[in-house]
Amino acid sequence: MATFFPSIPHIEDCPKRIRAYHHGVCLVDTRAAKLVWLDRRFPVYAFIEDDLPTWYMREHSQTEDEARYTIIIGGDYSRLAGAMRCFKTGPLAGLSIIPFDAMEEWFEEDEQVFVHPKDPYKRIDILPSSRHVRIEVNGIEVANTRAPRLLFETGLPVRTYIPKVDCRMDLWKVSDLTTSCPYKGTANYYHIVLSSGETFENVIWWYPTTTPESTMIRGYVAFYDEKVDVWLDGEKQPRHDQMTA
């Protein structure tokens, strides 16, 4: 979900210590990072010149508006070629951005972060509930619980996480798909295979491990609402047009 700002790019001071590592080498370690929204989806880290790893930087290309640098470390040149953007004009003048996926590890304080920097305007609340949740696939009940955990995430539909023991695990088949979320962790998936042989691919996700703020859903499973039929306290729920884990 997009974050609203009057104008883009939007720049804010980041109060956290930010570190970036590649091949075990700490290339950035700063308490003066910026959070920059280049679009309204999520922020990126930006750095002032004094915090750049100049001893590892080689000029890659140059225009009137920006310079790009390759970071030379180890043998991973192709991944880092032209990765760093140093802005010379406009609202980002004097700032540099290293793409998140160009580094192997990023840390906010001493906690590793994944996928992209966390947006301070997004929040996750996970609440235990006694609501009765029942899920069917093609008329076959695949989950039935009175102990769900409801995940409320800013700007997204409510997610219902269910204990595995309240599900028809005999209908599951492990999927190779994984996805990652900076607020929850890395999700694994299951297909549902009915006795007829009909398969519903990647209809279930779960987090074997989670980020600290999402430990309450560790080991629970969620079903894609647009692929299954959901009853909440006996009332059938409309399907969401689009869902993400």
**What pLDDT is attached to residue 243?**
47
- pLDDT digits over 209-227, tens only? 999 999 999 999 999 988 9
Mean pLDDT to the nearest integer, 37-53: 94
Domain boundaries, the chain: 10-113, 124-236
124-236 is classed in which CATH architecture? Answer: Beta Complex (2.170)
Interior CA angle at 161 toward 190 and 232, to 5°?
110
φ and ψ at residue 63, rounded to 5 degrees: -130, 180
* Cα dist from 215 to 157, 185, 218, 243, whole Å: 19, 10, 5, 21
CATH architecture of 10-113: Beta Complex (2.170)
Q: What is the pLDDT of residues 110-133, one digit of tens each?
A: 999 999 999 999 999 999 999 999
First vs last C-alpha separation in the chain: 13
Average pLDDT over all residues of the chain: 92
At residue 81, the pLDDT reads 74
Q: What is the pLDDT of residue 6?
A: 84
Q: Tell me, what's the pLDDT at 79?
A: 65
103 φ, ψ (degrees, to nearest 5): -100, 155
Count of C-beta atoms within a 10 Å radius of residue 132: 15
Secondary element (H or E) of residue 80: helix 77-80
For the chain, give the number of residues: 245
Predicted confidence at residue 72, as pLDDT, reads: 86
Do domains 10-113 and 124-236 share one topology? The answer is yes
d(CA 191, CA 233): 26
pTM reported for the whole predicted model: 0.85
**What's the pLDDT tens digit per position in 69-94?**
998 887 666 567 778 999 999 999 99
Which of 12, 186, 27 is closest to 102 using CA atoms? Answer: 27
